[in-house]
Amino acid sequence: MKLNGARILLECLKLEGVDTVFGYPGGTVINLYDELFSFKDIRHILPRHEQAGVHAADGYARATGKVGVAIATSGPGATNTITGIATAYMDSIPLVIITGQVPTGLIGNDAFQEVDIIGITRPCTKHSFLVKDVNDLATIVKKAFYIARSGRPGPVLIDFPKDVQIAVTEFAYPESVDIRGYKPTVEGHPRQIEKAVSMILASKKPVIYVGGGVVLANGSDDLTALARELGAPVTTTLMGLGSFPENDPLSLGLLGMHGTYCANMAVTNCDLLLAVGARFDDRVTGKIATFAPDAKIIHVDVDPTSIKKNVRVDLPIVGDVKGVLARMLKVAAEQSDKVKEFAEDLKPWREEIEAWRIKHPLGYKPSTSVIKPQLVIQKLRELSDPDAIVATDVGQHQMWTAQFFQFNKPRTLLSSGGLGTMGYGLPAAMGAQAAFPERQVMVICGDGGFQMNMQEIATLVQNRLPVKIVILNNNFLGMVRQWQELFFDKRYSQTCMELPIDFVKLAEAFGAKGLRATKPGDVESVIKEGFATPGPVLMEFKIAREEKVLPMVPAGASLNEMVLNA
């Protein structure tokens, strides 16, 4: 069957199971969009900005576990995708981004809307392809999806020149691809896994430290089963939240800069640290020299370059996290009596951790006059569905959400971790809602980050995506302001956003519902009304202006050197 390149691409996407793409048309993808006009097997959602389109594909991917797809035209359309691509790259999110390009004969001639998007994105993609021949297109798409979802997932870019879209060839989609030099290690070494279990059973104060790799590998059930078998406490990174239920007594909550007191103290005092699908990010470790100083460290990760990159490791295991955890469970089951005795012997360690939890629990000072942001987060959890999907932007609200919105299921928190991208939350929620139209989806934003992509309310309204938007408004760039207060003598340089934007009227201008709470007594009623109202709803909460995220480990300090009150 002979097809043009544009139609071949769409047929390839369909065969890869793609049901939704987020894209913005332009001159160099007009042929692709012409084919898309009559191609009914894929839903297309038009964002108001290409960056938002990539964030939406990212949110779709995080919520579903599938590869997200975004389309942009050449030149500024392509460059507008870069922040979204870098966000996905840092958090290992599988995406395929398709950019239009000028005809192959004009590449390098500074043609209208030409940029070297391959060169620009090389540092923030797993791989980039320039399609020079329509006969190579189907194989390139197959390779792109394979690379994006295998090993450590990540974004892959396909640059698609206009003349290749028009060219015609016989269409055949390969069943598989073999890429020389790209052979991800999937199976963890059996002897290393057996040794890991032996090391765990020889410890007295173990902690399981979990990152986003467990969520990405769909290993949450295996992790939970292993932790409960061992009776070992579990702490997670921001990306790992939801991989282990936070309502479990073994959960220590968040680790690191804004982690819980008990989590940070447990890691500082443990004698064995089992790190699973985590990369020892600086926001987690604090001062490297004093991170888990007395612990033997076992590191499980599918990416060999992540092991020993930041901290010393006593036992590395390279492999798919889910498979390694399943194998560890099997090894533990073969010595069930020993494991049961081990879990009993950990009782003093769990009691020591509980004492830290009681000594400095997560909390805040309630107020009858101003809305505390932590109250809003707690009420959102109390009044939302158990499987609600929560996207956040980046800043104080992100950390309050991580601390107070108890995440008990994987793929229910969508947040930019590694890159810390403001403007991520709203379009990510849009992508998740497109994937799950019947589930409750909300985005929690600050007033600063919300303004970076607030135009996407129009996309929500147009596509009938009932995302609930929560804005914690303190008229500050709150996290930077907090640092200025604590470390720069309250010199609030360019962090005060005093312009009184009426967010309720803004929502109404886009055709959405707007609600506002200005005092603590309004919080519950506004949330209830917002959740009960069909369609997209914006809920603004005027919060205490100088509330801080605590605990906080200052930059360069050890995990046990937390600022608890300030």
Describe the crossing of helices 336-345 and 220-230 by its angle, rounded to 10 degrees. 70
Residue 50: active-site member: yes
Residue 498: active-site member: no
E strand map for 229-366: 234-236, 251-254, 272-276, 296-301, 315-318
Measure the CA–CA gap between 235 and 275, rounded to whole angstroms.
10
Of the candidates 11, 16, 35, 50, the residue annotated as catalytic is 50
Measure the CA–CA gap between 524 and 517, rounded to whole angstroms.
9
Cβ atoms of residues 457 and 469 within 8 Å: yes
Burial of 14 (0-12, 13-18, 19+ CB in 10 A): middle
Residue 552: active-site member: no
Residue 145: active-site member: no
CB burial of 52-71 (b: ≥16 within 10 Å; e: otherwise) equals bbbbbbbbbbbbbbbbbbbb
Measure the CA–CA gap between 401 and 379, rounded to whole angstroms.
11
Tell me how far CA of residue 447 lies from CA of 150, 243, 444, in angstroms: 37, 29, 10
Measure the CA–CA gap between 206 and 251, rounded to whole angstroms.
13
Cβ atoms of residues 230 and 207 within 8 Å: no
Of the candidates 113, 192, 378, 440, the residue annotated as catalytic is 113
Three state DSSP letters for 3-58: EEHHHHHHHHHHHCCCCEEEECCCHHHHHHHHHHHCCCCCEEECCCCHHHHHHHHH
Measure the CA–CA gap between 60 and 408, rounded to whole angstroms.
20
For residue 188, what are the contacts with CB-CB under 8 A and spacing of at least 6? 300, 317, 318, 319, 320, 323, 324, 327
Of the candidates 66, 126, 143, 162, the residue annotated as catalytic is 162
Residue 162: active-site member: yes
In terms of Cα–Cα distance, which of 547, 566, 553 is closest to 259? 553
Q: Is 244 left (phi over 0), alpha (psi -120 to 50) or beta?
A: beta
Cβ atoms of residues 149 and 89 within 8 Å: no
DSSP 566: -
Measure the CA–CA gap between 43 and 442, rounded to whole angstroms.
22
Only one residue has tokens 């500050």, namely: 476
Number of neighbours of residue 317 by Cβ within 10 angstroms: 25
For residue 104, what are the contacts with CB-CB under 8 A and spacing of at least 6? 132, 161, 163, 164
Output the six-digit token pair for 223. Answer: 């992790």
Measure the CA–CA gap between 466 and 509, rounded to whole angstroms.
16
Residues known to be catalytic: 50, 112-113, 162, 479
